[in-house]
Amino acid sequence: LLGGAASFVGMQVMGGMVDRIGASRSYLLSCILLVMVLGLWFVAIPPLVPVLLAFPLFMVAMSGRNIPFQTLTSRVPPIAQRAQYMALSTATAQAAASLGASVGPLLLGATAEGHIVGLPRTCLIAMASILLAPPLIAWLEGAVRNNEAKWTCAQPKSVPD
């Protein structure tokens, strides 16, 4: 309940932030928060953040990355191809999530006592992957702006009656 409520509020804040400072900067801030939470919650042994604080922050960071990403990617294709593009984008994201869910168990294990092993290493890999995305998002935002400028210039000007 706490994670869902935090996510709901965080998404509203992130929506406003995307409108004010842009998708790539908002995405970067969410990634920084996510990496901090993962590091303090999963890599640090024992965890440096209690679950009641870490989980809501984790939910805010995860959902917070989606707002700028979806806002930006919805601007990539021309309007006539937007639904097709979004379907392909969603399918690709689901395939990547499936791959991640398949690789995760290969990196993790358990001791005879039932303790999870390999979580810090797995989390460091995830953190590195998360930090690869913001430069790509910044590049995509620049490319989208350039394309939108070309589309705007290519539109015929209306002639007053």
pLDDT in tens, 135-151: 999 999 999 988 887 76
* CA 7/CA 148 separation, integer angstroms: 31
CB 30 within 8 A of CB 61: yes
Residue 131 makes CB contacts below 8 A (sequence gap 6+) with 31, 35
pLDDT tier for residue 34 given thresholds of 50, 70 and 90? very high
Tell me which long-range contacts 142-146 makes (C-beta under 8 A, separation of at least 24): 144/72, 144/75, 144/76
Encode pLDDT of 61-117 as tens digits: 998 899 999 999 888 888 888 899 999 989 998 999 999 889 888 999 999 999 889
Copy the structure tokens of residue 130: 């998360």
H helix or E strand, kind and range, residue 109: strand 109-110
CA 101 to chain centre: 17
The values of phi and psi at residue 117, to 5°, are -120, 150
Encode pLDDT of 21-30 as tens digits: 999 999 999 9
* CA 72/CA 104 separation, integer angstroms: 29
Q: Which of 69, 70, 64, 66 is nearest to 13 (CA)?
A: 64
Name the E strands within 36-92.
none
pTM over 0.85: no
